[in-house]
Amino acid sequence: MPIVADLHVHSKYSQAVSPRMDLSELLRQAEIKGIDVIGTGDFTHPLHFQAIQNELEPAEPGLFRYRGAKSSVRFLLTAEVCNIFYSRTKQEKRIHTLLLAPSLEAVQELNRTLASWGHLEEDGRPVFRRQAKDLVKLARGVHPEILLIPAHLWTPWYSLLGSHFGFNSLEECFEEETPGIHAIETGLDSDPAMNRRVPQLDGTTCVSFSDAHSPEKVGREATVFGTALNYHEMAQAIHARSPQKLLYTIEVDSRYGKYYWDGHRRCENQMAPAETRRHKYLCPVCKQKTTLGVRHRVETLAQRPESFIAPSSIPYKTILPLEVILADALGKDSGSKTVENEYAHLIAQLGPELKILLDVPEGTLKLAAHPLIAEAILAVREGNYTVQPGFDGIWGKPCIISQERRLAFSRPQMEMF
């Protein structure tokens, strides 16, 4: 059985995270979304780590179950940390790194040292004024199976290859510790095909997780393993990059991501990378430096054409969140009551979400869902839609069902449903 894993989430102890994000809510969301192994998030935070120890109990090696719950969902120990430091060229760098750990003991030992680097209780995603490579050195000393993964590799802020506070290569950041990095997180705005254009990433595995800050966002991206259910084999699969063990990743359409294109939110100006170069990197509205998106950074560091197909890469599937598909099909806002009700109805009838998006057969979909909704889900599976790309913190705007098509379904018909 394939194992669907979402190993980058946050708890309510991280800044700008929903107060509902605790372990029981993560469990509930994993069930709704179809996630088999979910990250605990924030194991560096003393109160969250206490909750991990109280509410979870050991299951398979390196995995945990929620005490007393009748659920097949497993937890894996995860955290994200932020390193702020100066590079050799005296530039300020701010890098987020995802940590996966194989045992409570490893976490305890890691936390003991990290507590001397910064204030773990201040933020579920703690800040360390130290080189990112120190983290690799520390992890190596604590347990050889701890995985360090540069988080959302390309996003402009707090990312290793991002346009603000980032580097131009993994080596510039990790120096002699670079061999300790086996994987990168593609983030919402890039997919494996984009990353494989960049030869310096050839030695890394592309993984994909949600980085959820609220319950609704859990499972919007995931990595699917074909291994036995335990930490050791899952970590090995990331190391080895074998398509038999790492089956595929699930990626939100990169154009939907908030930082895909370049632009300025406040100036309502968006630009494709070529346009930005033509404007000499300045916003045509305010004449200030424009925010460079992920697409731009990938094009800057890519040495292969867009059509490049890596010989042995792990496949991936592109999705849009079901909530977004429903909003488009029904012509409503994605936060609206109509969309919320329809979402709950579909999950109850056909759930979980990832199964609806990827696997439920066409016939079954058409029996249970409104015809326009079934049509929209199938169109996304086939890549038969467009997206006005996101930029500078604004989500992309998908167009799946045309306005004419929506109008063709008269109101009485819609209501009958």
Contact residues toward Zn ion (CB under 5 A) are: 96, 151, 264, 267, 283, 285-286
The smaller minimum CB distance to Zn ion, of residues 149 and 346, is found at 149
CB of 264 to Zn ion, least distance (A): 3
The whole-angstrom separation of Cα 324 and Cα 327 is 5
Strand partners, 92: 86
CB of 111 to Zn ion, least distance (A): 19
The whole-angstrom separation of Cα 75 and Cα 55 is 11
Q: Residue 280 — φ and ψ, nearest 5°?
A: 55, 40
CB of 10 to Zn ion, least distance (A): 9
The smaller minimum CB distance to Zn ion, of residues 63 and 153, is found at 153
The whole-angstrom separation of Cα 242 and Cα 253 is 24
Mapped onto helix, strand or coil, the DSSP state of residue 229 is coil
The whole-angstrom separation of Cα 201 and Cα 52 is 34
Mapped onto helix, strand or coil, the DSSP state of residue 287 is coil
The smaller minimum CB distance to Zn ion, of residues 37 and 149, is found at 149
The smaller minimum CB distance to Zn ion, of residues 94 and 133, is found at 94
Which residue pairs from 171-179 have beta carbons closer than 8 angstroms and sit at least 24 positions apart in sequence?
A: 171/200, 172/87, 173/93, 173/95, 173/132, 173/133, 174/132, 174/133, 174/136, 175/133, 176/133, 177/133, 177/136, 177/137, 177/140
**Cis bond upstream, residue 321 (ω within 30):** no
| CA neighbor of 250 nearest in space, from 319, 353, 149 | 319
Q: Kindly give the residue spans of alpha helices, DSSP state H, lying in 76-230.
A: 104-117, 132-142, 170-174, 192-195
List all residues 6 or more positions away from 345 whose beta carbon is below 8 Å from its beta carbon: none
The smaller minimum CB distance to Zn ion, of residues 285 and 367, is found at 285
CB of 286 to Zn ion, least distance (A): 3
The smaller minimum CB distance to Zn ion, of residues 99 and 401, is found at 99
The smaller minimum CB distance to Zn ion, of residues 283 and 374, is found at 283
CB of 155 to Zn ion, least distance (A): 8
The smaller minimum CB distance to Zn ion, of residues 273 and 351, is found at 273
CB of 406 to Zn ion, least distance (A): 34
CB of 411 to Zn ion, least distance (A): 41
Q: Which helix (H) or strand (E) holds 128?
A: strand 127-128
CB of 244 to Zn ion, least distance (A): 30
Which residue pairs from 12-16 have beta carbons closer than 8 angstroms and sit at least 24 positions apart in sequence?
A: 12/124, 13/42, 13/45, 13/47, 13/48, 13/123, 13/124, 14/41, 14/42, 14/45, 14/80, 14/123, 14/124, 14/125, 14/213, 15/123, 15/124, 15/125, 16/213
CB of 283 to Zn ion, least distance (A): 3
CB of 128 to Zn ion, least distance (A): 14
The whole-angstrom separation of Cα 329 and Cα 268 is 26
The whole-angstrom separation of Cα 43 and Cα 404 is 50
The smaller minimum CB distance to Zn ion, of residues 146 and 151, is found at 151
The smaller minimum CB distance to Zn ion, of residues 65 and 217, is found at 217
> Strand 92-101 relative to strand 262-264: parallel, antiparallel, unpaired?
unpaired
CB of 41 to Zn ion, least distance (A): 11
The smaller minimum CB distance to Zn ion, of residues 288 and 413, is found at 288
Sign for the CA dihedral angle at 247, 251, 254, 255 comes to: positive
The whole-angstrom separation of Cα 338 and Cα 330 is 8
